[in-house]
Amino acid sequence: MPLRPGHQPTSAWPLALATACVVVYASLYPFANWRDQNLLPWVFLSAPLPRYWTWFDVWTNLLGYGPLGFFLALSVLRGSRPGWPVSRATLSCAALSLVLETAQSYLPARVPSNLDLMLNTAGAWLGAGLAFLLERWGALQRWSEFRARWFFPEARGALVLLALWPAALLFPASVPLGLGQVMERLEDAAVELLQGTPFLQWLPVREVELQPLLPGAVVVCVALGAVVPTLLGFGVIRRLWQRLVFLGLLLTMSVAATALSSALSFGPEHAWAWLDQPVRFGLAAALLWGLAALWLGTRPAAVLALVAVALQLALLNQAPSDPYFEQTRQVWEQGRFVRFNGLTQWLGWLWPFAALAYLLHRLLSTSVGLRGKRRIDP
């Protein structure tokens, strides 16, 4: 998005895109059994308001579009044409809601509703209005000043990834902090897709089965799982003491998010069952590596982050998924809140690959590469 002269790049626009993807996913899940009812897909607009509804549905539809309206209005306020931010954000969200409610007419598991459309629009208006008020009151300006003190101007991609990282940890993983273990599931999906076709013979067959990770490999994977976001942050943080604060907060967040995931998956009494000896050694190694990397320049930090995420993906995808965790995944995928928990599994699978793409783009970009040789101020 074009920016006004003198303004730093804002994270609002990529966050708005990420939020829009969440809204689309939640509105159209499970994306299966599409059918034509021989009715106009927008007939729900002229139907009476639903007679049966719950407060949960009301609050979900009202608050679901609030963050999207907020980030869209903020991106307008920080853009080159900042006029009418609330109206533009609200109308954009209303158009998206109309398209999604219309698409729900073709899904047997979803019911389009004019009440949902009104609540989504109202939620977007509340979120956009909050962004406008915070901007008028100067609260967002203080955030901009804080960001300018802590981060380099090109930090928005890293900030979005770091904001999504704790949510990605909520989905249970075979190895704590081990995001991106997708190879076995991709192979199973490919076999299922090609079953009964001659193309099934084209799939490569492993000579030996995947072997579980040894304790030493678990230590390395856990350490790399914390080192990757650490180096990602180090690549955009300005000062040494700020990096130290960030390192402490990130390791605390990694432990808290994994404990919450374990509690949600197995019950509160098992919140710390994952914290065995290899995991403790891995977290200690991540702390030592983080302390040793405090003085790295921004470009070397990005290079090492790229190496770390590639190494972790290679190690994790040479090991099978734990059957116990596979049962847990099925509970999450089939549970009551599947529309939200199903999203966390995609975050857990795709976050490392998004980080890989971001780091490659940053290192290969000429403009970023020239700025990336900054030294860290004490």
Domain boundaries, the chain: 12-149, 155-371
Please give the structure tokens belonging to residue 76.
């307008």
Residues in the chain: 378
Q: Which residues contact 365 (CB under 8 A, 6 or more apart)?
A: none
**CA 108 vs CA 35, 40, 112, 341, 342: distances in Å:** 7, 15, 10, 21, 19
pTM greater than 0.75 (yes/no): no
- Please return the burial class of 328, using the count of CB atoms within 10 Å of its CB with bins 0-12, 13-18 and 19+: buried
H helix count then E strand count, the chain: 15, 0
> In degrees rounded to 5, what are phi and psi of residue 239?
-115, 160
Dist CA 91 CA 124 (whole Å): 9
- Is 233 in contact with 286 (CB distance < 8 Å)? no
- pLDDT value for 79: 73
- Is 25 in contact with 343 (CB distance < 8 Å)? yes
In the 8-state DSSP scheme, what is residue 377? B
Whether cis (ω within 30° of 0) applies to the bond prior to 50 is no
**CA 51 vs CA 47, 115, 118, 242, 292: distances in Å:** 11, 10, 15, 55, 62
- pLDDT value for 87: 92
Please give the structure tokens belonging to residue 253.
């967040």
- pLDDT value for 370: 42
SS3 for 341? helix
**CA 288 vs CA 178, 224, 228, 244, 283: distances in Å:** 19, 12, 14, 12, 9
Residues of the chain with confidence (pLDDT) below 70: 1-10, 47, 49, 52-53, 55-56, 80, 188-189, 191, 199-200, 203-210, 321-343, 366-378
- pLDDT value for 208: 57
Dist CA 82 CA 84 (whole Å): 7
Dist CA 166 CA 253 (whole Å): 7
Dist CA 219 CA 81 (whole Å): 50
